[in-house]
Amino acid sequence: MHHIDNYKLNALIMCNKLILLLTACLSATALSAQNTTKTDSTKTQKLEEVVVTQRRQLIKNDIDKLTYDVQHDKTAQTKTTLEILKKIPLVTVDGQENIKVQGSTSFKVYRNGHPDPSFSGQNLKEILKAIPASAIKRIEVITDPGAKYDAEGTTAILNIVMMSNTKLQGVSGNVNSNIDSHGSARLGTYLTTKVGKLTTTVNYNYANQNKKQTESYREEAYNYVKTGEHTHEYGKNSTGATIHFGNINASYEIDSLNLMTASTNFFGYKVDANTQNTNERWDKNNQLIYKFNNDMTTPGYSYVNLGGRFDYQHKTHLDGEVLTLSYMLAATRQHTTFRQAYSNMVNFPVSYTSYDRNTRERFTEHTFQIDYVRPFGKHHKIESGTKYILRYNNSTSLMDYQGTTPDMESKFKHNAQVAAAYLSYILTAGKWAARAGLRYEFTRMKASYPDGSNADFHTNLNDCVPSASLQYKIRDGQTLKLSYSTSINRPGINYLNPAVISTPTTESFGNANLGSSRNQKLQLSYMLVAPKFTLQLNPYYSFTNNGIAHIMYEQNHKNVYTYQNILKSKVFGISSYTAWTPFTGTSFTLNASMRYARITLPTPYLKNSGCGGGIYFNWDQKIPWKLTLSTSLGGEYGNRVYNPYAIEGHWFYYDFTLTRRFLKDKLTVSLSAESPFIKERSTTYRIVQGDYTGYERAVMKPRSFGIRLSWNFGKLKASVKKAERSIQNDDLVGGGKK
């Protein structure tokens, strides 16, 4: 069955009303934006007897990225990285701390220009909550990655750039913790040391997710088109987890032209999940076909991600000329045991009473990369590079049945080699800037079956990926940019593994013949920065003709799931960002989006379309007694379509945070309340076409109160230097790096 990942309030908000609200908000704020002086915070310079005060622009829109200057945002000193994301253009964070870029979850998070394996998976929000925003220099939003970025995996990148080093010596750090009314807790520490030319940063965090935080009730009801049968599944579930993650980064500045950096990171968790369901199936005459109770537990569920990297950067005496040599190792190990036990069975449809599903997955990746940047005069720059990736995937699955059904074991190996080269040209001339690039990628994929269940096979993929951008500076603080980009996705081991996983009601398996899919996007970006006001508008159009589709159909009274390269989609959308500071101590931000999507499958022909979007509003207000009150509210509306079968439900959230700083700003105390006046929150996912139709609904208790403490110590403000070019791999979906 489809599992609902986010539990949200089902708010009765009409699509047309919210579109009108969005239009009104943008129109009203645009009227106040007549001056275009750069602004948002102040910088003071003393020239003999004259004091010059200049507004600092926190948001900058370049030809290749949009940058938010976290370092000079005074409110960032009391926030976590996750909280500061709410102020970033095109980025939204909802009440369950789910992150989207331009309304999509298809993005990657980098640290200092390269991927950190721990910045991925379901616990990204825990990692971002652990990093204080005061340790961040800037956050870059890249919505049209050029040729220098991998063509694989994503249409957007969030690059978190840590504080750059200074000439100071010593030690500084931060210790922070928080606990909420559910009993979940987190403890983290961040330490930076600088001795001579060596700078080292250590970050470690521990988090415990109490089961009470995720307790929920869920139900599913489906009607089957061919037989007239219908099913009803209902029950409760909860998930506890213990999480450890951290990293060590070091840089050594040989001289002003040569820099070596190294890092290692780890991320691991164990999960304790429990689900108790009742399953019923009836025929078209409402006669009971079967009924049973299902109790699922995870006696073994562990995941470990380890990685390391090394970069050597060489600059020449020509300003801007840089050569970078990089190596990265990434390895994941996952061991999962799901135990299903059945009881109160009536006409039970299978010949076993319980089973254990044991899965072991091993992923290892080696990456070698060379990047070279060379400016020519004041207006021209060439970026070029090559890359080689070697990947090894191994998976073993065992179904251990208690009954007369024989056990099943499946072994699968999948290796891939990727060779890539790119060339990019950037021109800046007066009010104009342009970028054009081409990337070529060759992939050799090989699959083998040590158990002899299938014949070994291999395939070669060739992808040419063009990109281009053109930007015009209308006047100071006002720019217009048109961009075209292409991205590809390669399937991971979960999508490829043909092992059949069977339960009394479902059957799932991968497709070893999957190839890469290609998505193309055309986007227009307008940005206006005025003294107390910032506005960005981004209309766009994207399409794909060979997307990897999650296929669902009915066979032998079971719901069957697999994957195929047959998805066709067209998406028209607009996203916007508005920031307004009417007076000192008060600031507002609004991230809003609207998209129309049409998604089709050719065989059997299915077409699903819908219009919807999201609105996220944040208000920071200084109040007496040196307190800061932060309010967030928002949600999503309309008929949001992301696959050929279903429509996402609409929902709403709100939360409050009260912050006070003590002891010369070294101690920060925050009290938070999430949905304090809501007892229950529900969301509905509607399947509207296919072999079966119906709904999935989840209900949880969102009300939560928490306290967060953060202590800064030491005087050093230095952080590890980073190579200006480094490795970034983003191509896998459905397995591998999670």
What is the arithmetic mean of pLDDT over 164-169?
A: 47
The residue that leads in pLDDT, 462 or 127, is: 462
Average pLDDT over residues 292-320: 92
In the chain, the percentage of residues whose pLDDT exceeds 90 is: 48
- 395-451 confidence digits (pLDDT tens): 999 999 998 888 888 899 989 999 999 999 999 998 999 999 999 999 898 889 888
* DSSP 8-state class, residue 82: H
pLDDT number for residue 249: 86
Is residue 216 over pLDDT 80? yes
pLDDT, tens digit (0-9, with 9 covering 90-100), for 519-547: 899 999 998 988 889 899 999 999 999 99
For residue 4, what pLDDT is reported? 35
pLDDT at 72: 85
| 485, β-bridge pairs | 521
Q: What is the pLDDT of residue 159?
A: 86
Q: Mind giving me the DSSP string for 172-195?
A: EEEEEEEEETTS-EEEEEEEEEEE
Lowest mean pLDDT segment, chosen from 44-48, 569-573, 606-610, 634-638? 44-48
CB 180 within 8 A of CB 125: no
Decide if pLDDT at 584 tops 60.
yes
Confidence of residue 310 (pLDDT cuts 50, 70, 90): very high
Q: pLDDT tens digits for 75-90? A: 777 677 888 888 888 7
- Nearest to residue 473, comparing CAs of 60, 30, 142, 40? 60
Q: Is the pLDDT of residue 20 over 50?
A: no
Least confident of 57-61, 117-121, 574-578, 651-655: 117-121
Mean pLDDT, range 731-736, rounded to an integer: 50
681 Cβ partners below 8 Å, 6+ apart? 7, 8, 9, 10, 651, 653, 675, 699, 700, 701, 702
Instruction: Give the per-residue pLDDT at 12.
Output: 32
Per the listing, tokens 């607009």 go with 574
* Residue of higher predicted confidence among 223 and 158: 223
Q: What is the 3-state secondary structure (H, E, C) of 378-446?
A: CCEEEEEEEEEEEEEEEEEEEEEEEECCCCEEEEEEEEEEEEEEEEEEEEEECCEEEEEEEEEEEEEEE
The predicted pLDDT at position 684 comes to 93
Residue 15 has pLDDT above 90, yes or no: no
Token output for 607: 């077409």
The pLDDT value given to residue 428: 92
Tell me the HSE value of 526 on the side-chain side, using a 13 A CA sphere. 10
**Segment of 77-86, 157-166, 439-448, 593-602 carrying the highest mean pLDDT:** 593-602
Residue 291 has pLDDT above 60, yes or no: yes
Backbone torsions φ then ψ of 44, nearest 5 degrees? -110, 130
Q: Which of 259, 238, 339, 239 is CA-nearest to residue 297?
A: 339
Q: Per-residue pLDDT for 712 more than 90?
A: no
Q: Is the pLDDT of residue 678 over 50?
A: yes
Mean pLDDT computed over 710-723: 65
Residue 33 CA to chain centroid, in angstroms?
Answer: 32
Q: How sure is the predictor about 321, in pLDDT bands with cuts at 50, 70 and 90?
A: very high
Q: Which amino acid is at 508?
A: S
Could you read off the pLDDT of 373-392 as tens digits, one per residue?
999 988 999 999 999 999 99
Q: Which amino acid is at 328?
A: M
Can you tell me the distance from the alpha carbon of 311 to that of 319, in angstroms, rounded to the nearest whole number? 20
Average pLDDT over residues 114-134: 67
Q: Which residues contact 443 (CB under 8 A, 6 or more apart)?
A: 416, 417, 418, 460, 461, 462, 463, 490, 516
Per-residue pLDDT, averaged over 570-590, amounts to 91
Q: Which amino acid is at 309?
A: R
Residue 9: is its pLDDT beyond 70? no
Residue 656 pLDDT greater than 90, yes or no: yes
540 phi/psi in degrees, rounded to 5:
-155, 165
User: pLDDT tens across 623-644, in order?
Assistant: 998 899 999 999 999 999 999 9
Full set of structural domains in the chain with CATH: 166-714 (2.40.170.20)
CA distance 260 to 251: 6
User: What residues contact residue 440 under an 8 Å CB cut-off, 6+ apart?
Assistant: 420, 421, 422, 462, 463, 464, 465
pTM above 0.85, yes or no: no
pLDDT single digits (tens) 343-352: 999 999 999 9
